[in-house]
Amino acid sequence: MPSQEVNPDLLKERNTATFDPHEFAVFWAGGEERYKEKKSLEKMFLEDPALKDDLPISYLSHKELYEHSLRKACIIGEKIRKLRAEGEDGVDTYNALLGGSLGAAILKEGNPLTLHYVMFVPTIMGQGTMDQQVEWLSKAWDCEIIGTYAQTELGHGTFLRGLETRADYDARTQEFVINTPSLSAYKWWPGGLGHTANHAVVVAQLYTKGEFRGLAPFIVQLRHSDTHEPLPGIDIGDIGTKLGMKSVNNGYLGLKNVRVPLNNMLMKNQQVLPDGTYVAPKNSVLTYGTMMFVRCALIRDTAQSLAKASTIATRYSAVRRQSPIDPNQPEPQIMDHTTQQLKLFPQIAKSIVFKTTGDGIWNMYNVLSGEIEQGNLDRLPEMHALSCCLKAICSADAAAGVEICRLSCGGHGYMDCSNFPTIYGMTTAVCTYEGENTVMLLQTARYLVKVYGQALNGEKLVPTVAYINDALKERQFVNFDGSLESIVKAFQFVAANKIRIAYEQIEQRRRQGHSTEMAANLSGTFLTAAADLHGRAFLAESAYTELLAVSRQVSPALADVLKVVLELYLVDACLNRIGDFLRFIDLTDKDVTTLEIRLQNCLKQLRPNAVTLVDSFDLHDRVLDSVLGAYDGNVYKRIFESTKKNPLNKEPVNEAFHKYLKPFMKAHL
């Protein structure tokens, strides 16, 4: 679409903003240098005509979509190769292209080569010996081989020890014989496995000398290097259409007596010697690191998804006019309805808080990684517990927020050309992958209940749970004065009480004679509730700390806006858990009404800057890919132009009329 005049309502919004969106955009990108890198990558990728779609992909069949996506994935791969040759392929580049918003601008339903870059290569780096890295890495980096990572099975996900795929070492030939002994053992879900990868890291139960040794990773060639035909013993294909991630080419894999050489087991952590002697790993802690890394990255992704959805819905709400407030006046911008503000603005605030919290956690992770390298594992459990619950909360809230934004756009949000359906599909997937959310909350809760017991014994707890010590001292929360600081403190007090109840529930059931495990299961919903509050208390504190810190570094104009965002976030978060607040803190009906009126005031204060705030997320029109959310706000023109691309509209009369409808209509004549 040629550049058009900007919708006058949007123009008005931009002209009346009280801060400079560029200043915020630079902050959002992570600083001046990253901002420039971002712009340069956008230029390199988004201006390449080969990476533009003439036809929206929602009109393609599953098969067409795969072929279309593989073509683009190869072009991206070629550009990555070029960047790599120039030494320009930093981790940010991979993030942007494979997981981030730039990647989504090109392949919005996912890239069948992503797992090659983000799982296959890193697994060889992390779990291969030096010799193995020499053998495999250059081929993998050059994409001479394309790999994926095959762990989850049709019948087994979360509980890794339940995996059925097995590798039996045959010392005579110095090979492993790999099998998926049943249908439920089939590998299921790996991205690119269907028809793209010709290799995979396959995780299997290792047996040597007839003895079970635990899980191990094996490099398995799946397809012939030249013909791409599946190799003997390999049953492989695409698992089918899905809610989202439609072009990832998720695959299944059955293995029947597939033999791989001894050296194909990645042996950095554990070894099998040629005679079958097994050398166990020194510690298994290191794999926690990778999982935490991924979860920390996901928190930032959820912020990005919510930023996209908020941008689309906010711009549309400035352009769309509906339902007079005053019957004598014309229909207002729907953003002037307070009910609409209550849908949109908390999502904008959450985008910002999830992003700053994600950045904070990322820094914590990096510090921790350094400590782990030096053998100091002290903060690992704390960090693990935190990353689990934040992954669960941010993904669930982001997915819900995307749907709130979509629904706030009425019927138009339901059309694929709004891009909401795709954003939702990609966002809700995060609730399930890399640790299903309920499982995540239970992991956090297990830690919380343990440290609660320690606190009861008078132990001083580590920083992120130290509030439990305070709560045990205070017992009553006095002085709720409504200040932001007291909301944060109150969140911690409430979290401590939810942890107390979970702890008491388990103890009570143990006293009734249940095993610890059964007592925990029977208290499951108390545990997840405790973990939820722990994460929300952390988010509240992080919002408070990080946004005030940023406010001190930016212009007063921007600082003022960020303070409104902070207040809105905290008051809204508090009201969303008001039942817990009222349960543990002595608040009256009037106090709650006061908070509700305060929320309304935050909405009112944010209203003049709402469009400019989402503008400052600086999301390229191609990233948004939405007729409702484009920068120029020409909503109706763009909707209408999208219908012109619909293949069904290329002919005035569809052949189905002649084949089916006409005979039906004339049947009785």
438 among annotated binding-site residues: no
**Minimum distance of a copy of itself from residue 405's CB (angstroms):** 13
**Minimum distance of a copy of itself from residue 33's CB (angstroms):** 30
Distance in angstroms (rounded) separating the CA atoms of residues 52 and 72: 9
Please identify, using beta-carbon distances, which residue of 274 and 327 lies nearer to a copy of itself: 327
b vs e for 275-286, b when ≥16 Cβ sit within 10 Å of the residue's Cβ? ebebeeeeeeeb
Please identify, using beta-carbon distances, which residue of 375 and 589 lies nearer to a copy of itself: 589
The backbone torsions φ and ψ at residue 148, rounded to the nearest 5 degrees and listed phi first, read -145, -175
Please identify, using beta-carbon distances, which residue of 15 and 226 lies nearer to a copy of itself: 226
Q: Look at strands 271-272 and 278-279 and give their pairing.
A: antiparallel
Distance in angstroms (rounded) separating the CA atoms of residues 333 and 316: 9
CB 649 within 8 A of CB 643: yes
Please report the DSSP string for 579-607 in residue order.
Answer: HHHHHHS---HHHHHHHHHHHHHHHHHHG
| 507 carries an active-site annotation | no
Please identify, using beta-carbon distances, which residue of 288 and 433 lies nearer to a copy of itself: 433
Distance in angstroms (rounded) separating the CA atoms of residues 134 and 150: 22
b vs e for 144-167, b when ≥16 Cβ sit within 10 Å of the residue's Cβ? ebbbbbbbbbbebbeeeeebbbbb
**Minimum distance of a copy of itself from residue 73's CB (angstroms):** 8
221: left (phi > 0), else alpha (psi -120 to 50), else beta? beta
Q: What is the DSSP letter of 246?
A: T
**Minimum distance of a copy of itself from residue 158's CB (angstroms):** 6
**Minimum distance of a copy of itself from residue 125's CB (angstroms):** 20
Distance in angstroms (rounded) separating the CA atoms of residues 142 and 410: 47
The backbone torsions φ and ψ at residue 258, rounded to the nearest 5 degrees and listed phi first, read -85, 125
**Minimum distance of a copy of itself from residue 42's CB (angstroms):** 23
Measured in whole angstroms, the distance separating CA 146 from the mean position of its chain's CA atoms is 24
Alpha-carbon distance values, 514 to 446, 505, 509 (Å): 17, 11, 6
Please identify, using beta-carbon distances, which residue of 277 and 432 lies nearer to a copy of itself: 432
Annotated catalytic residue, options 403, 434, 436, 507:
434
**Minimum distance of a copy of itself from residue 230's CB (angstroms):** 6
**Minimum distance of a copy of itself from residue 155's CB (angstroms):** 6
Please identify, using beta-carbon distances, which residue of 46 and 518 lies nearer to a copy of itself: 518
Please identify, using beta-carbon distances, which residue of 549 and 661 lies nearer to a copy of itself: 661
Contacts 24+ apart (CB under 8 A), 59-68: 59/645, 59/646, 59/647, 62/240, 62/241, 62/246, 65/109, 65/246, 65/247, 66/112, 66/194, 66/195, 66/238, 66/247, 66/249, 68/247
Distance in angstroms (rounded) separating the CA atoms of residues 38 and 597: 40
157 among annotated binding-site residues: no
Q: Is the dihedral of CA 82, 83, 87, 91 positive or negative?
A: negative
Please identify, using beta-carbon distances, which residue of 223 and 489 lies nearer to a copy of itself: 223
Using DSSP's 3-state secondary structure scheme, residue 486 falls into: helix
Q: Which residues belong to the annotated binding site for FAD?
A: 152, 191
Catalytic residues: 434
Q: Which residues belong to the annotated binding site?
A: 152, 191
